[in-house]
Amino acid sequence: MKLPVYFHPTTTVLVDDSDTFLRSLSFQLDPSQPNISFYDTLEALDWFGRSARRADLPLHVNFDDPHQSAERRNVEVDLERIWRLSTQPQRFAMPSVLVVDYSMPQMDGLAFCQALRTHPCKKILFTGAADEKIAVDAFNRGLIDRYIRKSADDALDQLERELADLQKQFFQEQSKTVCDMLALHDFSFLSCDALAGVVQALYQAHGFVEHYVFPNPSGILFFDRAGKATLMIIETEKGLRSQFEMACDSNAPPSLLAALDERRILPFFHHVTGDGMYAAAVGEHWHRYCRKPEVCEGRETYYWALFEVPAGFLEGVNTSFDAFQRSQRPALAA
């Protein structure tokens, strides 16, 4: 299991020709996850055409040397742009999963999915029992990602499980290229099953709803529903050695050097250097900026700790999930 370089709540799209069924389904789904309903397929297709898409992932090719062959050209990743996605209020309106009925008068569910074949959202056919053979064929042809029988006793439970699973798959696929590149360098934790498990546990324990890989110091930037930021700093043995060497070069107090050398602390000297490294101005007050690290044994040994993000450390304003839901409630309930 790989940890996507970013994750945030998105919008589930429900399409069915029965307005009554849509209202009932929308009401029964997890109220913490936004959804939007359409009983008119043409209106739904028009909405998809205007919906937010994540076409701005921070990858671009550097053509500084036009004489280089394509396979030798540099690919640059703007890591700052990843966490700055958190300042875009419409990120929560991006559709990640479609739930569509099969039998509809204007356009059946498979024709609807075919019309959206190039759209990255995951697709669930929510079908009657008589349509099951059609659904299996559509799944085998890659038109849909899942199908669920409406008549199943646990249909709603199945749907909520699949929605959660497919939303995760959506982000893994959207960030796969960036994730693979970063995991080869200073962000190996992105492809570590054990560390991904730690991150999921932190979501549950602290009420986080979104995360973004953070460049300096390296780690994961979390936000809760209210937009409060928490930084999970993640270091390896190599990273801690760099911290120790930087502190030595800056004539850090012996007590700090000993704590770093013995892996008893994980520092975040944010107020002086901006990059988390020690500087002489910290002086003897280094304890204020350190946490006892937790250890995760995965692809390698990871040391991590959670830090509150101080005011002014992040540039830009996070639009919280709560604020988005308040602003969108009339539209999403339509």
77 and 208 both lie in a single domain: no
pTM, full prediction: 0.88
Structural domain includes residue 314:
no
Q: Is the dihedral of CA 325, 116, 55, 274 positive or negative?
A: positive
Structural domain includes residue 315:
no
Q: Looking at residue 220, what is its pLDDT? A: 97
Cα 52–chain centre separation: 16
Q: What pLDDT digit, counting tens, does each position of 7-33 carry?
A: 999 999 999 999 999 999 998 998 888
Question: At residue 45, does pLDDT exceed 80?
Answer: yes
Q: Looking at residue 295, what is its pLDDT? A: 97
CA angle 154, 16, 50 (to 5 degrees): 120
Arithmetic mean of pLDDT, 113-135: 88
172 and 264 both lie in a single domain: no
> For 241-245, which contacts have Cβ atoms below 8 Å and span 24 or more sequence positions?
243/267, 243/277, 243/278
Question: At residue 65, does pLDDT exceed 70?
Answer: no
166 and 187 both lie in a single domain: no
Left if phi > 0, otherwise alpha if psi is -120 to 50, otherwise beta: which for 323?
A: alpha
Confidence class for position 332, pLDDT limits 50, 70, 90: very low
Average pLDDT, the chain: 87
Q: Looking at residue 176, what is its pLDDT? A: 87
Q: Label the pairing between strands 122-127 and 229-235.
A: unpaired
194 and 326 both lie in a single domain: no
* 3-state DSSP percent of the chain in helix, strand and coil, to 5: 45, 25, 35
- Provide the residue range defining the domain that includes 261: 183-308
Q: What pLDDT digit, counting tens, does each position of 187-245 carry?
A: 999 999 999 999 999 999 999 999 999 998 899 999 999 999 999 999 999 989 988 99
Question: Residue 109 is part of a domain; what is its CATH number?
Answer: 3.40.50.2300
197 and 145 both lie in a single domain: no
Q: Looking at residue 130, what is its pLDDT? A: 62
Q: Which of 197, 258, 127, 256 is nearest to 269 (CA)?
A: 256
Arithmetic mean of pLDDT, 75-88: 85
**Helix, coil or strand: residue 236:** coil
Question: At residue 172, does pLDDT exceed 60?
Answer: yes
Confidence class for position 316, pLDDT limits 50, 70, 90: confident
Q: Looking at residue 312, what is its pLDDT? A: 82
271 and 214 both lie in a single domain: yes
285 and 326 both lie in a single domain: no
Give how far Cα 154 sits from Cα of 150, 157, 161, 166, Å.
Answer: 9, 5, 11, 18
60 and 91 both lie in a single domain: yes
Arithmetic mean of pLDDT, 156-161: 94
**Helix, coil or strand: residue 233:** strand
**Which residues neighbour 322 within 8 Å (Cβ) at sequence distance 6 or greater?**
225, 226, 227
Percent of the chain having pLDDT more than 90?
59
Confidence class for position 298, pLDDT limits 50, 70, 90: very high
34 and 159 both lie in a single domain: yes
Number of domains in the chain: 2
Arithmetic mean of pLDDT, 75-98: 88
211 and 134 both lie in a single domain: no
Question: At residue 56, does pLDDT exceed 70?
Answer: no
156 and 274 both lie in a single domain: no
Q: Looking at residue 333, what is its pLDDT? A: 45
Yes or no: say if 313 and 233 are a contact pair by the CB < 8 Å rule.
Answer: no
221 and 105 both lie in a single domain: no
Give how far Cα 210 sits from Cα of 99, 115, 161, 194, Å.
Answer: 23, 30, 19, 19
Cα 69–chain centre separation: 34
Structure tokens at 276: 């988390």
Q: Looking at residue 202, what is its pLDDT? A: 98
Yes or no: say if 228 and 317 are a contact pair by the CB < 8 Å rule.
Answer: no
Confidence class for position 334, pLDDT limits 50, 70, 90: very low
Structural domain includes residue 12:
yes
What's the CA gap between 222 and 95, in Å, rounded? Answer: 21
Give how far Cα 294 sits from Cα of 153, 219, 304, Å.
Answer: 43, 14, 5
